[in-house]
Structure 1
Amino acid sequence: MRRLTRKEIKHIMKFTLLGLYHVHEQGLVYTDLKMENMLINFFPKEPSDGSKTVAKLGDLGQVIPPSQGRCQAVAYRSPEVYFGKPWSYPADIWSWGIVLCHLLEARAQFDELGMYDDAKMKGTLEEREEIIRRRMFEDFKLYDVPFYSDCQLPPRDPEWTDDDNWVVRLVKKGISEYDVTFLWNVLKADPNERPTIEQIFRHGYLHNDEGDEDNKSDES
């Protein structure tokens, strides 16, 4: 197994976003976007530009109308779901952003787990959920986000510092400023501030090569 090139990552994420677009066009939310549900038709042994790769959404069993209540895999779950708010299409955008984040993290440090990945966390499902819930609360300063003002929020961690923030953690992992800035624009705690699928496509991140160090090598 090798690391994906940046062009491969963007190609995969573009197709995944198109899949979400078709689901949302039906007035539905996918609710279960995660690595395991992304089907890739072609993965060459050698690094490539991704042009021959097609990604599709699998497992449509959790596709439902906007609602309220628990849904989404633990690591890909949006803040509004974690804190009991109504959720809709932006919840899928959050999961999409986390998938992109994980792919970029794996490119930087292949053997490290991605943000909020609970694969090696100890404890019950509920205990793992609570760990991520508290981390997300601090990472995105939900105590300062009006959208969550009526939620039962955990107490602030007195030992938490700005150096513990998710953006800082990604930079320390070696994720480029260009990528982190894009993720920052996608992973908004308030779902009303998250970009739509159309806005993500218009942004150009998935279509241009800005920040792609692969261009200076042979797609390594």
Structure 2
Amino acid sequence: MAVVAKSPRERKVEKFLGEGSFGRVAKCKKLGTDKVVAIKIVSGSAQTEINLLKELSKIDGDKHNLVKMVDCFRYKSYTCIAMELLDQSLYDFMRERYNQPLTVEEIKTIAWQMIVALKGLESINLVHCDIKLDNIMLVDQVSEPFRVKLIDFGVSDKITNMRTGCLMQNMVYRAPEVHLGLPLDQRVDMWSLGYVLCVLYTGTFIHGWDSEYDIIRAMVNIFFTKTEENSGKKLWKLDTPLQQSLKTEKLVSDRFDFWSFDQLIPDHLEAAKKREVEQFVDLLKRMLMMDPSKRISPSEALRHPFFTLGRMQPTAGSNNTKPAAVEVHQQHEATQATNVPQRPAAVLQESHKPEKKPGRIQQQRDAIKNHQGARRKRNPATQQNRDFGQRLQTEAEIRRRRF
């Protein structure tokens, strides 16, 4: 294996963990010690990312669930950023369990930690700009289930530097104000996180995912009410699926699988469980407000009943180096968290392989190739579990791009 630095920072590359448009990430061991780190190897200087990571060091990375930079150095023409070694991303975790949705308790643990992370970023006027399944890492799923950290600040920016009309974020997780070219601030991160939580709960994307048109059309149908043509008002009109298909020569289905967040609440639940799901859905609605001025802030989110109503109790960490997450306790009165509570010992449910079916992209390609105008037939009973793996593979292609 190669050695990626000269003394006194010599590290042996044990294996490569991943790669993208930014470069590669390698698991490295410092020679003469047992210390292992993840090193991001980037072409060029990567000075912007290094500066942002140094900015992050102003706040406690463990307390705020943010990845910590250990070191940075040059190796030949590359910049190497050494960071703490974590376990795996939520993207890989979901794929390995065949995209089986997480329980509400498991999602609560992740949500709390990531909202704490957003609050930490807000305190130093920093916006992540690329929150998605890939960039939320499990720290050690075996010893500390669902303890997570936010990683990859390669496209992050200061709030004051965000420009109106700037295209950012992965398309699937992109906030509506980015799609529409409106003023931007830290609230784009809250939208992306809300969408991540929704994916973890449903095991699938709740709107179209292969084009900006599909995404915007889904937003229109979910969040807006149609106005009568003869209202006398001058209105913007979105293309019909047929009009968009003719423009792009790509088949667009006119069927929506998701019309309302209330669809996420199962009909048959015992009262206490149903109330918890209702609180979760209410939090999602507030995180995914189309109007960013009405979107919930990190501080408000941490006080939301989903976390506080008769469930939360602050618990000190066992030591100063172990980060805090969420520990759920039964109690008679709600207690406002003054510290970051500890994490529950979440139980990972056994997953089952779904029957493999053609992905949505392949269905579209086949339909276009055969010049068929017919709509794709899908089985409503299996719609919720349709091949999310194919979607994630498409997202894997999308995530290689930097917007």
Task: Say whether the fold is shared (TM-score over 0.5).
Answer: yes
Matching of residues 1-220 of structure 1 within 5 Å: 1=97, 3-44=101-142, 52-65=145-158, 66-68=162-164, 69-106=166-203, 113-116=204-207, 118=209, 121=210, 128-141=211-224, 154=238, 165-171=259-265, 176-207=277-308
Q: Which amino acid aligns with 2:238?
A: P
Partners of 1:83 and 1:152 within 8 A in 2:
no
Q: Unaligned 5+ residue runs, structure 1?
A: 46-50, 107-112, 122-127, 145-150
Q: Which amino acid aligns with 1:167?
A: F
- Measure, in 2, the Cα distance between the counterparts of 1:16 and 1:153: 36
- Cα 1:173–1:115 change in 2 (3 A) is farther
- Measure, in 1, the Cα distance between the counterparts of 2:296 and 2:240: 28
- Cα 1:26–1:7 change in 2 (3 A) is same
Instruction: Please state which structure has a larger fraction of its residues in helix.
Output: 1
Instruction: Please state which structure has a larger fraction of its residues in strand.
Output: 2
Partners of 1:19 and 1:57 within 8 A in 2:
yes
Cα shift at 1:199: 0.2
Partners of 1:75 and 1:115 within 8 A in 2:
no
Q: Which amino acid aligns with 1:192?
A: S
Work out which of the two has the higher radius of gyration on C-alpha atoms and give 1 or 2: 2
Cα shift at 1:117: 6.0
- Cα 1:53–1:208 change in 2 (3 A) is farther
**For 1:40, what is the secondary structure of its paired residue?**
strand
Partners of 1:138 and 1:156 within 8 A in 2:
no
**For 2:195, what is the secondary structure of its paired residue?**
helix
Cα shift at 1:203: 1.2
Cα shift at 1:24: 1.8
Partners of 2:218 and 2:256 within 8 A in 1:
no
Pairs aligned (count): 190
**For 2:127, what is the secondary structure of its paired residue?**
coil
- Sequence identity of aligned pairs in percent? 26
- Cα 1:33–1:25 change in 2 (3 A) is same
Cα shift at 1:54: 2.2
Aligned to 2:85: none
| Greater relative contact order (CA < 8 Å, ≥ 6 in sequence) | 1
- Cα 1:156–1:164 change in 2 (3 A) is farther
Query: What do you get for the CA RMSD once the two structures are aligned?
Result: 3.7
- Measure, in 2, the Cα distance between the counterparts of 1:153 and 1:91: 25
What TM-score do you get using the length of structure 1 for normalisation? 0.71
